[in-house]
Structure 1
Amino acid sequence: MQGTGNTTFVGLGLFNQNENFTKISHDRYEVYVNGDYVGQKPLLTSSEDITSVNDFLHSHGYKNFVAHLDGDHYNIESNYRDDELKQALKIYLHTR
């Protein structure tokens, strides 16, 4: 198949050479605390990453937690003030 104009056929998809796309690998993450879903964290800029959730928690006095990324799921595990931590994260994620 021959490309027309500035659109090129590549495999099974089309690539438009007129548009520049900068796609973040994950534009949002689902955040869980001890297995409970608390909300989504969108990445608003290409320089932002999921560790901003940790920064928020640390700045609000939550230091005793372990967080790990599994695909687009950000899992936070904590035994300390579990309900307070979840509520703080819900507010943070909702206002972002």
Structure 2
Amino acid sequence: MGEGVIDHIRGDIDGRVRITGSVDNPNFDGLLTLDNAGIAVPYLNVDYSFAPRSRVVLANQTFNFEQIALQDVAKGTKANLDGTITHSYLIIGYWIWM
């Protein structure tokens, strides 16, 4: 997921997630809170840090990012992340590595 599109995924995750369904196509339900988090987008040559205590809601096969405040690490400009990532056949090993 995101290989070549996002890089330098970092941060601390806290929360509760219930994983159901088949191993090769799981459903996730829960809430994650992110601290010291951020990602880089090499194509845009930008590195974003997330606001403390940012929340990601997981519902079935969707990760919902709801108005997460971002800041460009180098320039200090700010934005909000409001959107979803939907998966099918998510590779679990990637998330364990993260």
TM-score range (shorter-chain normalised) is under 0.3
Please report the TM-score for the alignment, with normalisation by the length of structure 2.
Answer: 0.23
Larger gyration radius, structure 1 or structure 2: 1
Structure with more of its chain in strand, by fraction: 2
Structure with more of its chain in helix, by fraction: 1
